[in-house]
Amino acid sequence: MDDLKVVVIGGGSSYTPELIEGFINRYDELKITELHLVDIESGKDKLKTIYNLSKRMIEKANVGIKLFQTLDRQEALKDADFVLTQIRVGGLDARVLDERIPLSHGIIGQETNGAGGMFKALRTIPVVLDIVEDIKKYAKKDAWLINFTNPAGMVTEAVNRYGDFDRAVGLCNVPVNMKNQFAEIFKVEPDTIELDIVGVNHHFFVTDIFLEGKSSIDELLDMYVSGELQNTPTMKNIESLQWSKSLIKSLEAIPNPYLNYYFMTKEQLQSERDQYEENNVRAEEVKKIEKELFEEYADPDLDVKPKALEERGGAYYSDAACSLVDSIVNNRRDIQYVNTLNKGTVTDFPYESVIEGAAIITNDGPKPLNYGKIPYKLNGTLQTIKTFERMVCEAAVTGDKDLAIAALTLNPLVDSDTVANSVFKEMFEAHKDYLPQFDQE
Amino acid sequence: MDDLKVVVIGGGSSYTPELIEGFINRYDELKITELHLVDIESGKDKLKTIYNLSKRMIEKANVGIKLFQTLDRQEALKDADFVLTQIRVGGLDARVLDERIPLSHGIIGQETNGAGGMFKALRTIPVVLDIVEDIKKYAKKDAWLINFTNPAGMVTEAVNRYGDFDRAVGLCNVPVNMKNQFAEIFKVEPDTIELDIVGVNHHFFVTDIFLEGKSSIDELLDMYVSGELQNTPTMKNIESLQWSKSLIKSLEAIPNPYLNYYFMTKEQLQSERDQYEENNVRAEEVKKIEKELFEEYADPDLDVKPKALEERGGAYYSDAACSLVDSIVNNRRDIQYVNTLNKGTVTDFPYESVIEGAAIITNDGPKPLNYGKIPYKLNGTLQTIKTFERMVCEAAVTGDKDLAIAALTLNPLVDSDTVANSVFKEMFEAHKDYLPQFDQE
Amino acid sequence: MDDLKVVVIGGGSSYTPELIEGFINRYDELKITELHLVDIESGKDKLKTIYNLSKRMIEKANVGIKLFQTLDRQEALKDADFVLTQIRVGGLDARVLDERIPLSHGIIGQETNGAGGMFKALRTIPVVLDIVEDIKKYAKKDAWLINFTNPAGMVTEAVNRYGDFDRAVGLCNVPVNMKNQFAEIFKVEPDTIELDIVGVNHHFFVTDIFLEGKSSIDELLDMYVSGELQNTPTMKNIESLQWSKSLIKSLEAIPNPYLNYYFMTKEQLQSERDQYEENNVRAEEVKKIEKELFEEYADPDLDVKPKALEERGGAYYSDAACSLVDSIVNNRRDIQYVNTLNKGTVTDFPYESVIEGAAIITNDGPKPLNYGKIPYKLNGTLQTIKTFERMVCEAAVTGDKDLAIAALTLNPLVDSDTVANSVFKEMFEAHKDYLPQFDQE
Amino acid sequence: MDDLKVVVIGGGSSYTPELIEGFINRYDELKITELHLVDIESGKDKLKTIYNLSKRMIEKANVGIKLFQTLDRQEALKDADFVLTQIRVGGLDARVLDERIPLSHGIIGQETNGAGGMFKALRTIPVVLDIVEDIKKYAKKDAWLINFTNPAGMVTEAVNRYGDFDRAVGLCNVPVNMKNQFAEIFKVEPDTIELDIVGVNHHFFVTDIFLEGKSSIDELLDMYVSGELQNTPTMKNIESLQWSKSLIKSLEAIPNPYLNYYFMTKEQLQSERDQYEENNVRAEEVKKIEKELFEEYADPDLDVKPKALEERGGAYYSDAACSLVDSIVNNRRDIQYVNTLNKGTVTDFPYESVIEGAAIITNDGPKPLNYGKIPYKLNGTLQTIKTFERMVCEAAVTGDKDLAIAALTLNPLVDSDTVANSVFKEMFEAHKDYLPQFDQE
Ligand SMILES: [Mn+2]
Ligand SMILES: [Mn+2]
Ligand SMILES: [Mn+2]
Ligand SMILES: [Mn+2]
């Protein structure tokens, strides 16, 4: 590749500095020629702050990346090689509603799960599908879309099923985080570890772990069962709860931390309701963190990624994105954990659905390692979430309210069809400006 | 077939008179030579009452069925053609615990679902597997086991997976009841209707209904969605709740009434807790009904099945059993709804699992009509229950407490891994006499 | 159904009298109001002969069927309930070429197999798809197409895949013939027998046989293996060759007689080449039979189906069609052997492909009995033919010569890619007038 | 790994010097401590020659590999890490019969295909299963079996299905050879190329080729179709014939050279019969080559692998084995083409069967890259061979002659059930000393 044009949609995100740092660090082997930060009118000020910080970082690093900021997405996409999407439709205010409204109905409110996750998907999917249309029109024929907009699994599923576009990869930092935490547990370097994971974004299990290629899942399970590991490795944004020994021993797999919401619903709900009472649900907390971050970013003397960013739940998200771009450009054939089409990788999932799993990354994109059958004990919960994802994607594209409500009724975090109906009604009213695909009444 | 020997294990059940009536009514075409009622020591008195009533019924009907009562199961099984199992391990007292203990932990207590259903399975499966061993030893080589002991789905799954016996059919009256209720709705005769159903025992959906062969599901769905049908057709033992229009419209399927527990959990739980407070959970109610029934049965002037029996939840259960025996003996090739091996009938279910579905009944047993793929919206909930069933069956056979606990954690009616652990502990303690396969500590 | 309009495309076929007889015999329960015999200009004379004979038959039987003859297909199709297709594109002269040209290249020439079968498909499929378009435009919305035009499997596959029409059933007399022959062997009535068959039209195996529902395949296999059965049951148009004991014993299945062509290729080829030398390949023989039949039909005193017709290979074809119409109209739910969509009936075949198998026949059409996995020993040959069928169907619709040649190369009856190319070239030249979908050079 | 013990069963093979060279070349990263050459009594002299040459090679290279020769297999296997099998049961004389007897019956005689391939499998599988028993008893717990004994696909299938051993990898040089030849065509280095291949050993297709990760199959197909490539890349031991443009264009895949036998049967047969007449079938030719090779090997001045060895059909076989050992030991995670368990890699193949395909090689063995569905046009021929392989493996283990005969009847290279019977009879008689698992009459 002679020149390499990368476009970041949602360039004004607080995560962008990590991305910039990642591209700077990899510059020797991944020479990005042009980097375009794109945002929308209402994000203009944040975009400017990010652009300026990024410019200072690039200048300090003395790498040849030409940096641009713009509100004109289509112009930016012209001849792009990679498009990175990290948008938040409705901003953090919408997320506050996604978390608070369900809680007010007695059910869990969460960014990517349950009612909150569904509404985030309903708002986001049409916007990403619009971006895909622009990519098809303006970007290079073989351009890649790297999506780390949440809910990353559903967004990637929707792009593959409804976007007539097969060069989208969804990205999440949870597998990388788990790998890092397991590396700490085993006191080894993360890059000597590989995982077998099965499931979808934010809803998967680690079914094997390989240290220098040697299967070590039994050793890891023993640490849980024996009580040696007091806490589940987790994410910045998720409470650390402890699975019962019986659960881990029987599943023979480590649930990813988001599974707290499903297997510890009662405790999780209690803890969220406390936060709700204190007006301090996660979104409200994040708003404060973001405010502080942007104040720090605005400091004209800052020319590196500030430490504080690592405290955000999304740490390693952007780094994962840089790694992915690098491995595609350089045909590295290394193993990464991505959201990509199943095509029989996991026998029991739909062939045309998106999974999160291990893949080698090549210039032709991710090539999943075969997984095979889902261990039978894990099948129920995984299929339930896949069903939910597909219903939500279909509702997001068709604007079918009944389908969205039915998806909620079937969701394990919603405890009744009547609750599904009432929570939908209130959330729809609250978010309707971002839901033009639905009948507005 | 020259002579036909039928053995009823659990012959002292209050349902037996319906069975007797069924065999009497079919006697012209289904000439049962010997009918053996078998029960255990603690059921001796009830067995005697039932035997005497049955004898009066047979005499009144003037049919040539020779009736026997015994506590010696192996003797009774000698050269049997059909073995019908309708046992209740631990009796109604155990069922009271199955319903009350979970409620005391804030979760649903139900005979065949959730924690209660699991413990019923753990108590019952080893006993049925023992019966299967006796059948293999004493009965005719081509004898059939017709099981209507609950949880009928799990029991049939366990017999097929662990019993090394492939001539077991599981039976439930829900499909027949739904068929009868649809017949009333459409004002047609039940035998002009066939259903497409997909799922497992007590957890299935009606995805099509055929009136004289004509697909009429759209008409039926419309009645629900338009509000014309004010109540879901239901069972005697299940509250009638109303699904939302959105749910029915989107699923394009009619849930069976037990799905209340899953899609109306909140309301169902509230209603059960009220019964709990009033010491009137379903099992407690049934105990009263049973008491009255047996008083009636003891009346030496009674020589027909008393009307009151129809008020029990299990009405049509025994009639379904008689129909099944008749169709096997006479190779009728009519359609019945049974629990039988999947073998690809429903593509997405495990090949070696048991499903509840439409089958033609032949002398070689049930031959399922092909179903194909599970409609994607129904897949999640159905797989979740199949996973649960398989875990419970495995735990019942191996005596693995951890597995039983994990099954509970994954069950949609249990709201936390910690609850799963504590409810298991209390229930195990309460039922341990009937759980010899587990470590007793 | 108040009135019942049946249209026979290819009404001038010599098989029509059997059809008429079939409808007459069933008239009490299947009251056909109008019966339209449709043919093309070049078949006018034969149509007239058939029409006259049919009229005499109907009058003699004194049934209320109104009979019509016409060359105007679209007019005839108006408001039709059933459309029966029994056409032969290119007539028997084309069949002579289908048999003789391959033989001249040293490979088997056969009506429905190999190069001959492929060219018959290439000529026929577009015509049947045209008929389907007319049915969709003119016939009743719920009209059925009953196709017994050969190659019936490929024609039905093509209609399902490319015709946007899901109410087509393909019919063949081989399963019925085998059932009748087994009935003779076992000295029972045919209607007490059912078969398990797996495969596609003219390429299937009988894997079980049920006498009054009792599995009797072992008994049947023993007769073959012991030598008690000296000859394979076969068809009028197929030589009776004897499978080796090793083959039958190992396959645990009875091949249908057409499998001679695949498993006795050498002998079959030798015998065909002898016929070739004597200018007496099957098509040439059939031409003589047809000539005699039509002479007999023309006899104004003939008012019943003549005995001679039963000597044609297609005996029972039309009777099978009448049975099928009857069971659909009357929702009989009896078992028949038809070509219909697989949809998971046979797990290993493509979901959207057509199989030949046992189905109960209802007013909503055939509902296949689940079959499950293909016994592994039978899988290879069955998949090979399904691949061939799909390639030929695609070539027939797209007019892709390369694909047709590749299909031949992969066909087991063609012994080289070079032969495939040369035989294709000569046959295309010979049949090109009937192959307008292909580039004519 | 501290020390590394490698055992070569069939150490006296003429291919061993390539193996020695491979281990010498890799010594820096793959420090083999002990290398044991094992052979049987009748191969003692050849073993000695090979041992002496190998010793000279190792000494010249000055690497620390301790070399041993022995006839005591069990002793040699003690604590082995890797066991390489390269045996030829019956020697080249048996191969002469495998090729000549089928030809005398008018069908193709070939080392790994048809009747010849089957008898090689029947002789070899029990011996390899014996070796597997010894490995389980004597070698390290995590020892690997690298099998390049032909027919490598069937042998690996048999070990996996019947050997209760899941650490066997089958190896063939055809994929590597094709990769090398494609590299020449594209004028790039072989290690910049990866292939998508689908099928089984000696019966697979290349369905994509990636140059530096970029899919280039269309470019490659065009070269075939345009005639730019005059000859199919092929193996030393296989004639180069030219596929028709229609075939390649339609299959959208490059057949491996062995597919000549199936798609150019007529020409291949003619050419083999000429060799037969001249007493110069491939096995006879190989005998001469071997004689010359061993004369050369005996030269006490020879201390490198002689050039002449590259002329043998098996060139790169041993090098592939060295690469595989290296990647397992060093957890390289590079892509190699191996025979390994399918487990859903190729959706349409049996889950428990062995496939030949691309896998990354880790310390835990090969992890196949997911392939997905077989392109439908390739499915028939691939399934046919897989069916054949499974029947032959079962016959080899059970000693079921009928099954072996039926396998032949179903094999595309055998043109009749009668030929299958007669060729089996003659070959069995010829090979019976090596077929102790069968009834000897
Ligand atoms: Mn994430
Ligand atoms: Mn029931
Ligand atoms: Mn036919
Ligand atoms: Mn090879």
Percent of chain C with pLDDT over 70: 96
- Give the distance (Å) from ligand 2 centre to CA of residue B174: 6
Region A143-160: mean pLDDT is 97
Residue at C207 is within a domain: no
Residue at A84 is within a domain: yes
Residue of D nearest to C422 (CA): D244
Contact between A250 and B379 using a beta-carbon 8 Å cutoff: no
- Give the distance (Å) from ligand 3 centre to CA of residue C258: 9
Residue at D363 is within a domain: no
Q: Are C68 and C41 in contact (CB under 8 A)?
A: no
- Give the distance (Å) from ligand 4 centre to CA of residue D258: 9
Distance from CA of B68 to the nearest CA of C (A): 29
Residue at D142 is within a domain: yes
Distance CA A284, CA A275 (A): 10
Say whether A258 is catalytic.
yes
Residue of B nearest to A251 (CA): B406
Contact between C371 and B344 using a beta-carbon 8 Å cutoff: yes
Residue at B339 is within a domain: no
Contact between D391 and C406 using a beta-carbon 8 Å cutoff: no
Contact between D344 and A194 using a beta-carbon 8 Å cutoff: no
Residues of B in contact with C345 (CB under 8 A): 344, 370, 372
Going by C-alpha positions, the residue among A43, A32, A33 that lies closest to residue A10 is A43
User: pLDDT tens-digit profile of C86-145?
Assistant: 999 999 999 999 999 999 999 999 999 999 999 999 999 999 999 999 999 999 999 999
- Amino acid sitting at position A342: N
Residue at B75 is within a domain: yes
DSSP B238-297: S------HHHHHHHTSEEPGGGHHHHSHHHHHHHHHHHHHTT--HHHHHHHHHHHHHHHH
Distance CA C153, CA B15 (A): 51
Buried b (16+ CB within 10 A) or exposed e, B273-309: bebbeeeebbbbebeebbeebbebbeeeebeebeeeb
DSSP B85-120: E---TTHHHHHHHHHHHHHHTTS---SSSHHHHHHH
Q: Is C85 exposed, middle or buried, given 0-12, 13-18 or 19+ CB atoms closer than 10 A?
A: buried
List C-alpha distances in Å: B109 to A55, A262, A298, B257, C97.
Answer: 62, 20, 58, 16, 75
pLDDT exceeds cutoff 80 at C156: yes
Interface residue A398 vs chain B (CB under 8 A): no
Region C308-312: mean pLDDT is 77
pLDDT exceeds cutoff 80 at C69: yes
Residue at B115 is within a domain: yes
CA A267 to chain centre: 24
Phi, psi of C348 (to 5 degrees): -85, -10
Residue of A nearest to D369 (CA): A369
Interface residue D369 vs chain A (CB under 8 A): yes
- Amino acid sitting at position D8: V
User: Which pLDDT belongs to residue B318?
Assistant: 84
As annotated, the active-site residues of D are: 258
Q: Roughly what angle, to the nearest 10 degrees, separates helices C417-431 and C91-104?
A: 150
Interface residue D398 vs chain A (CB under 8 A): no
Bridge partners of B349, per DSSP, are none
Distance from CA of B121 to the nearest CA of C (A): 29
- Amino acid sitting at position B95: R
Residue at C369 is within a domain: no
Q: Are A167 and A128 in contact (CB under 8 A)?
A: no
Contacts 24+ apart (CB under 8 A), A428-432: A428/A401, A430/A97, A430/A101, A431/A90, A431/A94, A431/A97, A431/A119, A431/A122, A431/A123
CATH code, domain carrying B58: 3.40.50.720
Average pLDDT score over chain C: 95
At D329, is the pLDDT very low, low, confident or very high (cuts 50, 70, 90)?
A: very high
Contact between C381 and D266 using a beta-carbon 8 Å cutoff: no
At A242, is the pLDDT very low, low, confident or very high (cuts 50, 70, 90)?
A: confident
Bridge partners of C170, per DSSP, are C147, C339
User: pLDDT tens-digit profile of C342-385?
Assistant: 999 999 999 999 999 999 999 999 999 999 999 999 999 999 99
Distance from CA of A100 to the nearest CA of B (A): 20
pLDDT exceeds cutoff 70 at D230: no
Bridge partners of B415, per DSSP, are none
Going by C-alpha positions, the residue among D193, D89, D195 that lies closest to residue D150 is D89
Q: Complex ipTM above 0.90?
A: yes
Region D420-438: mean pLDDT is 98
Distance CA B386, CA A325 (A): 41
Bridge partners of D170, per DSSP, are D147, D339
Instruction: Put residue C114 in one of left, alpha, beta given phi > 0 → left and psi -120 to 50 → alpha.
Output: left
Q: Which of C167, C197, C367 to mutate to test the interface with B (most CBs of B within 10 A)?
A: C367
Q: Are D414 and D115 in contact (CB under 8 A)?
A: yes
SS3 state of residue D276: helix
Distance CA B200, CA B342 (A): 10
Region D253-274: mean pLDDT is 96
Distance CA D249, CA B397 (A): 56
Going by C-alpha positions, the residue among D90, D112, D92, D110 that lies closest to residue D100 is D110
Going by C-alpha positions, the residue among A119, A324, A112 that lies closest to residue A237 is A112
pLDDT exceeds cutoff 90 at C227: no
Distance CA C18, CA C28 (A): 17
pLDDT exceeds cutoff 60 at A382: yes
Pairing type for strands C193-200 and C203-211 reads: antiparallel
SS3 state of residue D203: strand
Segment-wise mean pLDDT, segments of 10 residues, chain B, 441 residues? 90 95 96 98 97 98 97 98 97 98 98 98 98 98 96 98 97 93 94 97 98 96 85 63 91 95 96 96 94 95 88 76 96 97 98 98 98 98 98 98 98 97 98 96 81
Interface residue C300 vs chain B (CB under 8 A): no
Q: Identify the domain boundary among D128, D144, D170.
A: D170
Buried b (16+ CB within 10 A) or exposed e, D233-264: bbbebbbebbbbbbbbbbbbbbbbbbbbbbbb
SS3 state of residue C366: strand
Domain that holds residue C132: 5-170
Contact between C266 and D415 using a beta-carbon 8 Å cutoff: yes
Distance CA A170, CA D171 (A): 36
| Domains identified in chain A, total number | 1
Residues of A in contact with B409 (CB under 8 A): 244, 246-247, 263
User: pLDDT tens-digit profile of D267-303?
Assistant: 999 999 999 999 999 999 999 999 999 999 999 999 9
pLDDT exceeds cutoff 60 at D316: yes
List C-alpha distances in Å: B73 to B77, B132, B139.
Answer: 6, 11, 11
pLDDT exceeds cutoff 60 at C68: yes
Residue of D nearest to C225 (CA): D402
pLDDT exceeds cutoff 90 at C182: yes
Query: Which chains border D (3 or more CB–CB pairs < 8 Å)?
Result: A, C
Cis peptide before C306 (omega within 30 of 0): no
SS3 state of residue D220: helix
User: pLDDT tens-digit profile of D28-82?
Assistant: 999 999 999 999 999 999 999 999 999 999 999 999 999 999 999 999 999 999 9
User: Which pLDDT belongs to residue C313?
Assistant: 65
- Amino acid sitting at position B35: L
